[in-house]
Structure 1
Amino acid sequence: MGQGLSCGASQENGLFSAVQVGDFQTVEVFLKTEPHLLHHTTVYDRHSALHIAAANGKIEILSMLLEKSMNPDALNRHKQTPLMLAAMHGKISCVKKLIEAGANILKFDSLHGRTCLHYAAYYGHSDCLQAILSAAQSSPVAVSWGYARFVNIRDARGATPLHLAARQRRPECVHILLDNGALVCASTGGYGCPGSTPLHLAARGGSLDCIRKLLAWGADRLQRDASGRIPYVVALKHKHGDCAALLNPSSAEPLVWPAPLKFISELNEEAKSLLEQALMEANRERERNILKGTAFSLPSPSPSPSRSDSGLDSISETSDTEVCCICFEQICTIEVQDCGHQMCAQCTLALCCHNKPNPTTASLTPPVCPFCRSTIVQLVVAKIKSYDDADHDITDVSSPKLRKLRKSRNFSEGSSSFKSLSAVGSFSKMGGRGSGRVAAENESIDKP
Structure 2
Amino acid sequence: MGQKLSCGTSDEHELFSAVQCGDLETVKGLFERNPSLVHHSTVYDRQSALHIAAANGQIEVVSMLVDQSVNVDLFNRYKQTPLMLAAMHGKISCVEKLIEAGANILMFDTLNGRTCLHYAAYYGHSDCLKTILCAAQTSHIASSWGYARFVNVKDGKGATPLHLAARQRRPECVHILLDNGALACASTGRYGFPGSTSLHLAARAGSLDCIRELLAWGADRLQRDDSGRIPYTIAFRHKHGACAALLNPSSAEPLVWPSPLKFISELNEEAKHLLECALIEANKEREKNILKGTTYSPPSPTNSDNEMDDNVSEVSDTEVCCICFDQVCTIQVQDCGHQMCAHCVLALCCHKKPSPTTTSPTAPVCPFCRSIIVQLDVIKLEKKDGTSHDVSSSKLRKSRRSRNFSEGSNSFKSLSAVSSFGKMVARGSGRIAAEDVYIDKPIILD
Smaller-chain TM-score bracket? 0.7 to 0.9
Contact 1:184/1:219, CA 8 A, preserved across alignment: yes
Unpaired runs of at least 5, structure 1: 295-317, 408-412, 427-448
Q: How does 1:149-228 map to 2 (within 5 A)?
A: 149-189=149-189, 195-228=195-228
Name the structure 2 match of 1:301. Answer: none
Instruction: Give the counterpart letter for 1:212 in structure 2.
Output: R
Instruction: Name the counterpart of 1:383.
Output: 380
Distance 1:118 1:396, change over 3 A: same
Moved over 3 A (4+): 259-265, 318-321, 385-389, 404-407, 418-424
Question: Which of 5, 8, 14 does residue 7 from structure 1 map onto?
Answer: 5
What is the Cα deviation at residue 282 of structure 1?
0.8
CA distance in 2, matches of 1:384, 1:121: 40
Q: Flag the 1:406–1:397 CA change in 2: closer, same or farther, 3 A.
A: farther
Deviations 1:161-193 (A, max 9, x none): 010000000111111111111111111138xx9
Query: Is 2:62 the counterpart of 1:54?
Result: no
Equivalent residue, structure 1, for 2:20? 20
The amino acid across from 2:149 in the alignment is R
**1:54-92 residue CA offsets vs partner (Å, 9 max, x unmatched):** 001111110110010100001111110000000000011
CA distance in 1, matches of 2:319, 2:236: 46
- State the partner residue of 1:430: none
Query: What's the TM-score once normalised by structure 1's chain length?
Result: 0.81
> How big is the shift at 1:342?
1.5
Alpha-carbon separation, structure 2, partners of 1:404 and 1:162: 38
1:18-417 aligned within 5 A? 18-189=18-189, 195-259=195-259, 261-264=261-264, 266-293=266-293, 321-361=318-358, 364-386=361-383, 388-398=385-395, 403=397, 416-417=424-425
Gaps of 5+ in 2: 295-314, 402-420, 437-446
Say if 1:406 and 1:135 are closer, same or farther in 2 by CA, change over 3 A.
farther
Amino acid at match of 2:378: V
TM-score, scaled relative to structure 2: 0.82
Once the two structures are TM-superposed, the CA of residue 266 in structure 1 deviates from its matched residue by 2.7
| Aligned equivalents of 2:182, 2:359: Cα separation in 1 | 19
CA deviation after TM superposition for structure 1 residue 9, in Å: 4.8
2:203 and 2:288 map into 1 onto residues whose CA distance is: 18
Asked if structure 1 preserves the Cα contact closer than 8 Å seen for 2:121 and 2:165, the reply is: yes
For the Cα contact (< 8 Å) 2:255–2:351, is it kept in 1? no
In structure 2, the CA distance between the partners of 1:415 and 1:333, relative to structure 1 (3 Å rule), is farther
Answer yes or no: is the 8 Å Cα contact 2:184–2:219 preserved in 1: yes
After superposition, give the CA deviation of every residue in 1:421-442 in whole Å (9 maximum; x if it has no partner).
4759x9xxxxxxxxxxxxxxxx
Paired with 1:199 and 1:106, the residues of 2 have a C-alpha distance of: 26
Secondary structure at 2:14's aligned position in 1? helix
Contact 2:24 2:61 in 1 (8 A): yes
Distance change in 2, residues 1:13/1:338 (3 Å):
same
Amino acid at match of 1:370: P
Structure 1 position 204, deviation (Å): 0.5
1:417 positional shift: 2.2
* 1:106 shift after superposition: 0.9
Pairwise CA RMSD of aligned residues? 2.7
Instruction: Give CA deviations for 1:179-210 in whole Å, capped at 9, x if unaligned.
Output: 111111111138xx961000000001110110
Q: Secondary structure at the match of 1:403?
A: coil
- Once residues 199 and 283 of structure 1 are traced to their aligned partners in structure 2, the CA distance between those partners, rounded to angstroms, is 17
User: How far has the Cα of 1:359 moved from its partner?
Assistant: 2.1
Whether contact under 8 Å (1:265, 1:377) holds in the other structure is no
The 3 A distance-change label for structure 1 pair 260 and 63 is: closer
Count of aligned pairs between the two proteins: 390
Q: Deviations over 1:189-239 (max 9, x none)?
A: 38xx96100000000111011000100010000000010000000101111
Deviates more, 1:282-291 or 1:254-263: 254-263
1:420 positional shift: 6.3
Task: Please give the alpha-carbon distance, in whole angstroms, between the structure 1 residues aligned to 2:16 and 2:370.
Answer: 67
Match of 1:299 in 2: none
Q: Specify the SS of the correspondent of 2:349.
A: coil
Deviation sequence 1:348-378 (CA, Å, 0-9, x none): 1111223222222476232222222222221
1: CA distance between counterparts of 2:80 and 2:358? 44
Aligned equivalents of 1:7, 1:332: Cα separation in 2: 63
Secondary structure at the residue paired with 1:351? helix
Alignment check: 8 A CA contact 1:95 1:128 kept: yes
Larger deviation, residues 131-140 vs 334-343: 334-343
